[in-house]
């Protein structure tokens, strides 16, 4: 802990970033945790629609990538349900997750207590939302690579960001285990 505090104190260039991002996130969480039930529903439906839209784009690019790969080997495109059903399973899973978290939010709001739980549920919901969007965008990038032979710069950047985050999480787990 002493090492973490000394590293934070020595990196003064991150003070502004830390203060601004922390303030922004705490403002969003406090706003969302004091919202009325109908607004909870609106935020939840918006999250679902955004995730659904990105998933539909992933399905579309996946079909295009499969068509291009079949064309390269000289075969005609035939819709195989193996990979396609996974896309629909993802839609069902994130729909159930969002519904479950919304149900928890409305129940906590109905009880008019445990605001810290509401903040935790909202943080979990937005973390899952960001995670699903990143995974879907990475899949769209892989489909683009299959179609055109290379990824565009935003997808390469996304891959590097995800790789860096994964390495950081793995290193953090290793340090915790030691």
**pLDDT (tens digit, 9 = 90+) per residue, 20-68?**
777 877 777 776 666 666 666 777 888 888 988 998 898 888 888 888 8
Q: What gap in Å lies between CA 45 and CA 88, rounded to an integer?
A: 18
Q: Tell me, yes or no, whether 62 and 50 share the same domain.
A: yes
Looking at the fold, whether 49 and 135 belong to one and the same domain comes out as yes
Distances (CA, A) of 50 to 94, 111, 129: 11, 29, 9
| Cβ partners under 8 Å of residue 101, min gap 6 | 44, 121, 124, 125, 128
Calpha distance 85→134 (Å, rounded): 20
DSSP single-letter state for residue 34: T
Instruction: State how many domains the chain has.
Output: 2
pLDDT at position 127 is: 83
- pLDDT for residue 38: 62
What is the per-residue pLDDT for 63? 83
Give, rounded to a whole angstrom, the gap between the first and last alpha carbons of the chain.
14
Q: Looking at residue 61, what is its pLDDT? A: 87
User: Do 14 and 94 have their domain in common?
Assistant: no
The predicted structure's pLDDT at residue 35: 60
21 with 94, same domain: the answer is no
Domain span at residue 138? 37-177
Q: What is the model's pLDDT at position 1?
A: 55
Query: Is the distance from CB of 55 to CB of 90 less than 8 angstroms?
Result: yes
Which backbone phi and psi does 169 adopt, to 5 degrees?
A: -65, -45
Q: Are residues 29 and 42 in the same domain?
A: no
Based on the fold, state whether residues 94 and 138 are members of the same structural domain. yes
Give yes or no: residues 143 and 58 share one domain: yes
| In a shared domain, residues 67 and 43 | yes
Is residue 55 located within the same domain as residue 140? yes
Q: For the segment 156-166, what is each residue's pLDDT rounded down to a tens digit? A: 888 888 888 77
- CA dist list (Å): 3 to 7, 167, 174, 176: 6, 20, 16, 14
pLDDT tens digits, 62-114: 888 888 887 887 777 666 656 667 777 888 888 888 888 888 887 877 777 67
Q: Please tell me the predicted confidence (pLDDT) of residue 53.
A: 92
Structural contact between residues 77 and 45, judged by C-beta atoms closer than 8 angstroms: no
| Same domain membership, residue 8 and residue 81 | no
Residue pointed to by tokens 């055109």 = 148
Q: Same structural domain for residues 108 and 123?
A: yes
Tell me the average pLDDT of the chain. 78
Q: Examine the domain organization and report whether 21 and 56 are in the same domain.
A: no
State whether residue 77 is helix, strand or coil: coil
């Amino acid at each position: 802990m002493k090492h973490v505090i000394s590293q934070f104190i020595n990196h003064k260039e991150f003070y502004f970033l830390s203060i601004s991002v922390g303030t922004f996130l705490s403002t969003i969480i406090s706003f969302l945790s004091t919202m009325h039930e109908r607004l909870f529903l609106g935020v939840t439906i918006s999250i679902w629609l955004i995730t659904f839209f990105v998933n539909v784009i992933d399905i579309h690019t996946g079909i295009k990538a499969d068509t291009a790969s079949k064309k390269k080997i000289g075969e005609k495109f035939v819709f195989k349900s193996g990979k396609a059903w996974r896309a629909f399973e993802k839609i069902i899973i994130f729909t159930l997750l969002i519904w479950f978290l919304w149900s928890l939010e409305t129940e906590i709001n109905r009880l008019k207590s445990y605001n810290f739980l509401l903040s935790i549920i909202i943080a979990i919901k937005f973390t899952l939302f960001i995670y699903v969007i990143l995974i879907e965008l990475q899949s769209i990038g892989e489909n683009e690579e299959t179609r055109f032979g290379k990824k565009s710069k935003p997808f390469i950047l996304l891959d590097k960001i995800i790789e860096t985050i994964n390495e950081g999480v793995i290193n953090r787990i290793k340090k915790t285990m030691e």
